[in-house]
Amino acid sequence: PTIVEVGSGKAVTKVGGGHLGMIAGPCAIESAERLDEIAGEIKKAGANILRGGAYKPRTSPYAFQGLGEEGLKILREIGDKHGLPVVTEAIDPRHVELIAEYTDMIQLGARNMQNFVLLTEVGKTHKPVLMKRGMAATVKDLLMSAEYVIANGTTDVVLCERGVKGFDNACRNMLDVAAVPQVHQMSHLPIIVDPSHATGRPELIPACALAGLAAGADGIHIEVHNCPEEAMSDGPQALLPNQYAELMEQLKKVALAI
């Protein structure tokens, strides 16, 4: 198995080959103060990579689009303060160089999993990549998209199962837990599970996170916010810091058991 190293200096997190990447943070970076509070809480709970969007792929053009470079600066500063490597999403090839300067890992989102121009630009940075499965992509499609990044220079790709479109709109998406053992069968790359975007419902997140880990996932990605009702994006699916901490205790028990 490939072991992906995220970060540098004292803050290095390994993902894969028995190392769990526990990624957490708000959907979007909103302010330094808020990210600082959230980062402190998730670090205490055991998270080892801080996430936050500076460029958000929103369904509506009138929704909050992210703080851009200001957000990247905040993410770097807060990550360093708490000793956490940081990951953020790139949605536009024109931003890739700037994002690579500020972050330790570049996220390719579900909506861009087959944006091959973007994949190519991100691959050229040689930065570790978090590649999310497209909402209508097969496991094979996901692996071929990872191949695009790898063919262009980056060897370190962490895949992420974040749910696919289902017929039942009770949940935001449908978590495909079977993707985890499938990826392990077909590839050397690590795969983590994102129950936040898969369910869109905080009360369902713990069960799906535990199932993901039990299925062999190399980590869990969860959105955490200290004031979900004020969040600029994905507030309704955010776990509160104390809920995240409680879940992490359960996840640690599963990790020890498998």
| Closest distance to ligand PEP from the beta carbon of 111 (Å) | 6
- Of 53, 128, 212, 219, which one interacts with ligand PEP (CB under 6 A)? 53
Residue 109 interacting partner from ligand PEP, Mn ion, none (CB closer than 5 to 8 Å by kind): ligand PEP
**Which member of 197, 204, 219, 239 binds ligand PEP (CB under 6 A)?**
197
Per the CB < 8 A criterion, the answer to whether 134 and 110 are in contact is yes
* Number of Cα atoms under 13 Å in the Cβ half of residue 9: 8
**Closest CB to ligand PEP belongs to which residue?**
109
* CA dihedral of 72, 95, 104, 149, whole degrees rounded to 10: 160
Is residue 132 part of the contact set for ligand PEP (CB under 6 A)? Answer: yes
What is the rounded distance in angstroms from the CA atom of residue 117 to the CA atom of residue 246? 40
Number of residues counted as binding ligand PEP (CB under 6 A): 9
Tell me if 25 contacts ligand PEP by CB under 6 A. Answer: no
Q: Which part of the chain contacts ligand PEP (CB under 6 A), choosing from 3-11, 60-68, 106-114, 200-208?
A: 106-114
- Stretch binding ligand PEP (CB under 6 A), from 107-115, 116-124, 140-148, 238-246: 107-115
Q: Which does 57 bind (CB under 5 to 8 A by kind): ligand PEP, Mn ion, none?
A: ligand PEP
The burial of 258, by beta-carbon neighbours within 10 Å (0-12 exposed, 13-18 middle, 19 or more buried), is given as: exposed
Max CA-CA distance within the chain? 46
